[in-house]
Amino acid sequence: MKFGNEFASQMVPEWQEAYADYKFLKSLIKEIQVFKQRNRPAKPAGPRRTQTLYRAFSGLTQRVNTPSSHQAATDIESQAILVQNVRREGEERSETMFMMAADEGGEYEMVYFRRLDDEFNKVLRFYRVKVDEVMKEAAVLNKQMEALIAFRVKVEHPQGWTNSVEETTQLASDAAASSAALFANTPSAIKASRRVPMSVIDEEGWIPGHGPSDESKADRREGSVEMKAVNDIKAKRPAPLEVLKQVKFNTTQETPRSTIKGFLNLPNQADLKFTKDNLKKAEDQLKRAFVGFYQKLKLLKNYSFLNIMAFSKIMKKYDKVAERSASKSYMRMVDKSYLGSSDEVSKLLERVEVTFIKHFSNSNRSKGMNILRPKRKRETHRITFSMGFLFGCTVALIIALILIVRARKILDKQGRVIYMETMFPLYSLFGFIVLHMIMYAANVYFWRRYRVNYSFIFGFKEGTELGYGEVLLLGFSLSVLALASVLANLDMEMDPITADYKPITELLPLGLVLLVIVIMLCPFNILYRSSRYFLLVCVFHCLLAPLYKVTLPDFFLADQLTSQVQALRSLEFYICYYGWGDYKHRQSNCKSNDVFNTFSFIIAGVPYVWRLLQCLRRLYDERDPHQGYNGVKYLATILAVCARTAYTLNGGATWKIIAWTTSIIATILSTYWDIVVDWGLLQSKSKNRWLRDKLLVPHKSVYFVAIIMNVLLRLAWMQTVMRITVFSLHRQTMVTLVASLEILRRGLWNFFRLENEHLNNVGKFRAFKSVPLPFNYDEDGNKDE
């Protein structure tokens, strides 16, 4: 693989704009190469012995290569570039002076070095900002560790101290061992840490003055200057036990109880309660914070390495094309710069490892490093083979179903109407689910292809996100079970020998639904438990929409549910058919039941109500008026859906006019919001006319096709109002087709919605989610750190 492709593949997606533009610099070198090839004199046609070569072999021009001062001066004068660091506008910048501007084509090389300096200064500026951020975060984690250690001692010694001198010394030692590693690199102590050698912190984390060793006294007397710096650092920290007087638990409105208290202006309990449950909760939160911080440091270190490598590669390519030797002097400057010489990130990585291993993995290095550096999940051939096998089984079952229906002329029998009114809605539920899973798998495939960091946006735990192959595997597994159930139902019903088993075959769809529910709720670590738990948590947050702080996975799932209204109605039909119907004789009066029709209204609007409540909660939390406008859109959709449902059940000209009016208004609002707000398109002043400035898909026509498809699929509701039929299909079949079109539209919407979210994160260099910390210091003004 070429370096350019490897460089692009190793980038942090949200930091793409901050990396050196290797491709652009390479194009500038290409221009230099084209110019030199165009103006290079033609070589002689045949071999020819030059006079210089002849003289060299004859020995007549033999010279002794003795360096002289004049030759050294000439070498200096012959240097192609002069690199210097200057300070402008309060920041250090690198400027390269091209010394051969008078040469033919020198203007091309001047442009190259000017752009090279711009790219290097951009990288250097970004790296400084990110290093400053991690230093500040290290200071916060240091204070959290001090509070955790003191809290841990309080929990483990609830009866007080048996030997106050000894145990206080031990507590101070533990606090120093855990926090000195982080504190030594914080902004308040960075200057002191540079004066203090690394030897003042040994392998156990002891700082001189805190440990029980007597052998270090002579060393402390010899290093009094260094000890003074360390003591200055220690003096800024309160005594270990005194920390607890300034600490309270962080309170966030992330539970129904805390939300209700916050809405009623009731104080949340923030005082420390020294219980094992609170200790475990604090340890878990701080452990996640350390893991996230460690991952950030690793990416920052990799950012520095990749950019240095990119500058090295591009300078070697320049030397080769321009036939100069400028790479050594330029890379010497890069190595001496902050990007190449700073070691704060490397030291902080080592210290985080020491602290985490000692306090969160019981000094087990292997266990601690496995947590800090989780292994990425790899695609296996077993998944691909199983997915392909089940796909083949699905196709075979569909063909078998078609052949059985046509061979036995089932569509010509009187029972087909009853079948379409009873069994078809039961089995169509699985069709909706499988179709949605196929669309999600396609989304995952294209998100990965165009480097949309969907796992970060959704907040999946690293290594647990499902690939498109695994999603397809689950989808085709469900389709095989559903199609096999349909075939068993048809075959057993028509075979006289198995006619006695008809009541059992009628229970097959119910058994399949129960099987899916059992698998979803299974507590054992099988069938992607992490993903199942993540999905269930999001569903629970949707059910209690206003009582939980809304995150992107929550409202993204609620949007998916708005496209599965017909599936929710199928679940309602399951309850009615098996609860109050005579399923043994395939008879049901659900359609004429007032309770069933009332719940049809409710179920039609419930997903949109969830989204409306989520918009109101975000409006309350974020004070963003756009969430209010979004809520108005969902309110209009609720009215339109209810009006169409009423027209379907009751008919009449009045309900038809109401359904038309509300549906047109809701369609206009929803279409505008989809394309302009969710997708970020139709920007008249963008670089890409009527699209947006940044596009991940290289073909612009894809976006215009997506806009047209979204508008057309949005109009699928017209079938309900106009009662359009195609090829004399049964009404239930038309309802299923319209519901499937809405699922297809939602799959199309998913890709561009997440693409726009990803580009917003890229614009803000937002590559990490904030992790809530367990403790809050009063001295910080009661802010969440």
Cα distance between residue 487 and residue 480, in whole Å: 11
Q: Has residue 323 got a pLDDT over 70?
A: yes
What's the CA gap between 154 and 686, in Å, rounded?
Answer: 60
Q: What's the pLDDT tens digit per position in 404-414?
A: 888 877 777 77
CA 757 to chain centre: 10
Contact, 94 vs 337, CB < 8 A?
Answer: yes
User: Average pLDDT in the 478-501 region?
Assistant: 76
Q: Report residue 371 CA to chain centroid gap.
A: 19
Q: What is the pLDDT of residues 523-544, one digit of tens each?
A: 988 889 999 999 999 999 999 8
pLDDT, average across residues 334-343: 88
d(CA 337, CA 167): 46
- For 735, list phi and psi in degrees, rounded to 5: -60, -40
Buried b (16+ CB within 10 A) or exposed e, 52-82: eeeeeeeeeeeeeeeeeeeeeeeeeeeebbe
Q: Which of 355, 45, 314 is nearest to 174 (CA)?
A: 355
User: What is the per-residue pLDDT for 252?
Assistant: 58
Cβ partners under 8 Å of residue 491, min gap 6: 404, 498
* Residue 381 identity: H
For residue 86, give the 3-state DSSP assignment.
strand
pLDDT computed for residue 160 by the predictor:
54
The position carrying tokens 């039909």 is: 573
pLDDT at 537: 93
Read off the pTM: 0.79
The sign one gets for the Cα dihedral 234, 238, 241, 247 is negative
Mean of all residue pLDDT scores within the chain: 79
Percent of the chain with pLDDT over 90: 31
pLDDT of 629-671, one tens digit each?
Answer: 999 999 999 999 888 888 877 778 888 899 889 989 999 999 9
Pairing between β-strand 81-88 and β-strand 247-249 as defined by DSSP bridges: unpaired
DSSP string, 437-506: HHHHHHHHHHHHHTT--HHHHHTPPTTTPPPHHHHHHHHHHHHHHHHHHHHHHHHHHH-GGGGGGHHHHH
Least confidently predicted of 15-24, 65-74, 77-86, 472-481 = 65-74
SS3 305: helix
The pLDDT value recorded for residue 627 is: 92
Interhelix angle 731-763/701-714, nearest 10 degrees: 140
